[in-house]
Structure 1
Amino acid sequence: MPVIIELALPAAEFQLGRILATEGEGKVTLKTMVPLGGRSVPFFHVVDHAREAFEANVRNHTSVSNLYEVSSHNGETLYGLDWEIADDTFFDSVISLDGHILEASGGHETWVFQIRFRTHDALSAFQQVCFDGGIPIDIRRIYNPTKPDAGPWHGLTAPQRETLMYAVEMGYYSLPRQISTQEIADEFDISDQAASERLRRAINTLVSNTLLLTASDE
């Protein structure tokens, strides 16, 4: 039975956290890790007010061979990173135990992850590896969203749930579409890009925690 762990981890305790450290209140949101030629290429968003210092810090890191801009929209920039991957107990254990990072974001001090494992045994093995390796993960919750006692929202945050419900109720997914992304953004006082991203994450989380879990069980 698949299970999801939400945990916090000091940025200094894993390689990518050290590379992507931001100044002050800057925040980095990991979008995906794409396997290319035996290596994992991370893609991540950074808010524009932190860009200058962030780019300088990352490019000066000894493990980074290239930092490149993919796109920029509504105050956020999407980057890709080419890096020399060193031994990293945290990420190595996630990969070796077939874990899947659903969400990850952080900054100078702390990162928060939501990671799905296929079984409770895999999760237990992950926790043991972290314990044995001295990785100070702070477990915030462990849940299986297919169980009745896991709560009714299947891992959605309150903003994700409210935005997705509003979009459905107002006809965003109807044909023809009854409301625009900008109108949804205006309702929640966020940018058009933020509204699109919130809906995308909500749908990804909902499917990952329901349909994909069911398919995995089958």
Structure 2
Amino acid sequence: MSLVAVDVSLPSESFAMGRVLQNGLDVRIELARFVPTGESTVPYLWVESNDLAAFEAAVRKHDRVAHLTALDEHAGRTLFRVGWTITADPFLDAIVDHELLIEHGTGTAETWQFQLRSPGRENLSAFQQTLQDHEIPIEVQRVWNPTTPTSDQYGLTPKQRDALYLAFREGYFDIPRETSLSALGAELDITGQSFSRRLRRGTFALLSNTILEE
């Protein structure tokens, strides 16, 4: 059995946690790293919003939420701990039941993006079947072997691919930019300068093996 990583997306309204945390608000949520269990489902969240008070009020009044506590604030984001009164959520339950881990998760009012890790392709297939049975629509964007150390078809190393993916996801290439090199480096526990070098090398490899390749 070999590890399999997968990037998936699904509408916020299609699973319970997405509905509770978004509630139609203009907010961006990032899950802090954790191992999901039936007893402690998604306890820590980084939240970025222009109206944090509205987010707190909307979440606290929901019958699924026992408490919402602000723990820290950094770079315009607030870290919350959430206590749930009802932990049942078919999407998250399927992750636990099929022994998947959430490597990363971000959500907006419309869509959630998750990077999941599975012990094998059989578990991943069973997970997808469970979601289909519950009529939870997901879009599989990428499946790969995270333990493979070699470069991919575009000449990228795994670290370069991760840097490019993170920069794109966090809005580094948007106009105006929505993040900085130092913030992106912090996500990977490296300096902004190191992230910049990794991003430049990844961009060079990607261009060399795509539009510049004859």
Tell me the TM-score normalized by structure 2: 0.71
Aligned to 1:76: 77
Cα offset, 1:119, TM superposition: 0.5
Change beyond 3 A, Cα 1:150–1:16: farther
1:10-89 aligned within 5 A: 10-21=11-22, 23-33=24-34, 38-89=39-90
Aligned length: 177
Q: Is the 8 A contact 1:69 1:80 kept in 2?
A: yes
Runs of 4+ aligned residues of structure 1 deviating over 6 Å after TM superposition are: none
Which range moved further: 61-70 or 84-93? 84-93
Aligned to 1:215: none
Which residue identity lines up with residue 14 of structure 2 in the other structure? E
Aligned to 2:186: 197
Q: Is the 8 A contact 2:38 2:87 kept in 1?
A: no
Cα offset, 1:88, TM superposition: 1.8
Tell me the TM-score normalized by structure 1: 0.70
Cα offset, 1:199, TM superposition: 2.9
Q: Distance in 2 between matches of 1:37 and 1:106?
A: 21
Q: Distance in 1 between matches of 2:131 and 2:37?
A: 26
Cα offset, 1:41, TM superposition: 4.6
Identity rate of aligned residues, in percent? 32
More helix by share: 1
Aligned to 1:216: none
Which range moved further: 80-89 or 19-28? 19-28
Q: What is the SS of the residue equivalent to 2:50?
A: helix
Say yes or no: does 1:158 pair with 2:164.
yes
Q: Distance in 2 between matches of 1:50 and 1:10?
A: 22
Where does the alignment leave 5 or more consecutive residues of structure 2 unmatched?
169-177, 192-214
Where does the alignment leave 5 or more consecutive residues of structure 1 unmatched?
163-187, 203-218
Q: Is the 8 A contact 1:33 1:40 kept in 2?
A: no
Q: Distance in 2 between matches of 1:39 and 1:122?
A: 22
